[in-house]
Amino acid sequence: MAAAKKARAKARPTNGARVAAGWDAAPTEVLRARDGFDLASLDRSSTPGFSGGKAAGRALVAQHADELSDLQERLFAEGRTGGSRSVLLVLQGMDTAGKGGIVRHVVGLVDPQGVAHRSFGVPTAQELRHHFLWRVRRELPRPGYIGVFDRSHYEDVLVARVRELVEPAVLDRRYDEINRFEAKAVASGTTVVKVALVVSYEEQRARLAERLERPDKHWKYDPSDVDSRALWPAYQDAYQVMLDRTSTDTAPWHVVPADRKWFARLAVSELLLDALRRLDLGWPAAGFDVEEEKRRLAAT
Ligand code: ATP
Question: How distant is the alpha carbon of residue 217 from its chain centre?
Answer: 24
pLDDT at 206: 97
244 part of a folded domain: yes
Establish how many alpha carbons lie within 13 A of residue 205's alpha carbon, considering only the half-sphere containing its beta carbon: 5
Whether 95 lines ligand 1, by a CB cut-off of 6 Å, is yes
- Sheet with 86-93: strands ordered across: 115-119, 146-150, 86-93, 190-198, 253-257
Q: Name the residue of 159, 171, 220, 227 whose CB sits within 8 Å of the most ligand 1 atoms, as the mutation to test its pocket.
A: 159
Q: Please tell me the distance from the alpha carbon of residue 71 to that of residue 76, in angstroms, as a whole number.
A: 9
Whether 121 lines ligand 1, by a CB cut-off of 6 Å, is yes
Report CA(250)–ligand 1 centroid distance (Å): 26
Nearest protein Cα to ligand 1, atom 30: 122
Own/partner pairs for 132-139, CB < 8 Å, 24+ apart? 132/156, 132/160, 132/174, 133/177, 133/178, 133/181, 136/181, 137/181
Nearest protein Cα to ligand 1, atom 20: 159
Nearest protein Cα to ligand 1, atom 14: 121
293 part of a folded domain: no
Nearest protein Cα to ligand 1, atom 29: 122
Whether 122 lines ligand 1, by a CB cut-off of 6 Å, is yes
Report CA(122)–ligand 1 centroid distance (Å): 5
13 part of a folded domain: no
Nearest protein Cα to ligand 1, atom 12: 121
288 part of a folded domain: no
pLDDT at 20: 75
pLDDT of 11 above 50: no
CB 95 within 8 A of CB 103: no
pLDDT at 4: 40
Q: Please tell me the distance from the alpha carbon of residue 108 to that of residue 156, in angstroms, as a whole number.
A: 27
Query: Which atom belonging to ligand 1 lies closest to the Cα atom of 159?
Result: 20
Report CA(42)–ligand 1 centroid distance (Å): 24
Q: Please tell me the distance from the alpha carbon of residue 159 to that of residue 17, in angstroms, as a whole number.
A: 35
17 part of a folded domain: no
Q: Is 179 exposed, middle or buried (0-12, 13-18, 19+ CB in 10 A)?
A: middle
CATH code of the domain containing 135:
3.40.50.300
pLDDT at 220: 92
Other CB atoms closer than 10 Å to residue 288's CB: what's the count? Answer: 9
Question: How distant is the alpha carbon of residue 163 from its chain centre?
Answer: 25
Query: Which atom belonging to ligand 1 lies closest to the Cα atom of 222?
Result: 6
pTM: 0.93
99 part of a folded domain: yes
HEC string for the chain: CHHHHHHHHHHCCCCCCCCCCCECCCHHHHCECCCCCCHHHCCCCCCCCECCHHHHHHHHHHHHHHHHHHHHHHHHHHHHCCCCCEEEEEEEECCCCCHHHHHHHCHHHCCHHHEEEEECCCCCHHHHCCCCCHHHHCCCCCCCCEEEEECCHHHHCCHHHHCCCCCHHHHHHHHHHHHHHHHHHHHCCEEEEEEEEECCHHHHHHHHHHHHHCHHHHHHCCCHHHHHHHCHHHHHHHHHHHHHHHCCCCCCEEEEECCCHHHHHHHHHHHHHHHHHHCCCCCCCCCCCHHHHHHHHHCC
Query: Which atom belonging to ligand 1 lies closest to the Cα atom of 156?
Result: 27
Report CA(126)–ligand 1 centroid distance (Å): 16
Q: Please tell me the distance from the alpha carbon of residue 79 to that of residue 195, in angstroms, as a whole number.
A: 24
Question: What is the domain extent for residue 135?
Answer: 53-281
177 part of a folded domain: yes
Please give the average per-residue pLDDT across 40-69, as a whole number.
Answer: 96
Please give the average per-residue pLDDT across 270-299, as a whole number.
Answer: 97
CB 118 within 8 A of CB 147: yes
Write the pLDDT tens digit of every residue in 223-264.
Answer: 999 999 999 999 999 999 999 999 999 999 999 999 999 999
Query: Which atom belonging to ligand 1 lies closest to the Cα atom of 150?
Result: 3
Q: Please tell me the distance from the alpha carbon of residue 229 to that of residue 223, in angstroms, as a whole number.
A: 11
Report CA(168)–ligand 1 centroid distance (Å): 21
130 part of a folded domain: yes
Report CA(119)–ligand 1 centroid distance (Å): 8
Indicate the pLDDT class of residue 22, thresholds 50, 70 and 90: confident
Write the pLDDT tens digit of every residue in 257-266.
Answer: 999 999 999 9
Query: Structurally, how many domains does the chain consist of?
Result: 1
Residue with more model confidence, 15 or 170: 170
Question: How distant is the alpha carbon of residue 105 from its chain centre?
Answer: 12
Residue with more model confidence, 11 or 157: 157
Whether 151 lines ligand 1, by a CB cut-off of 6 Å, is yes
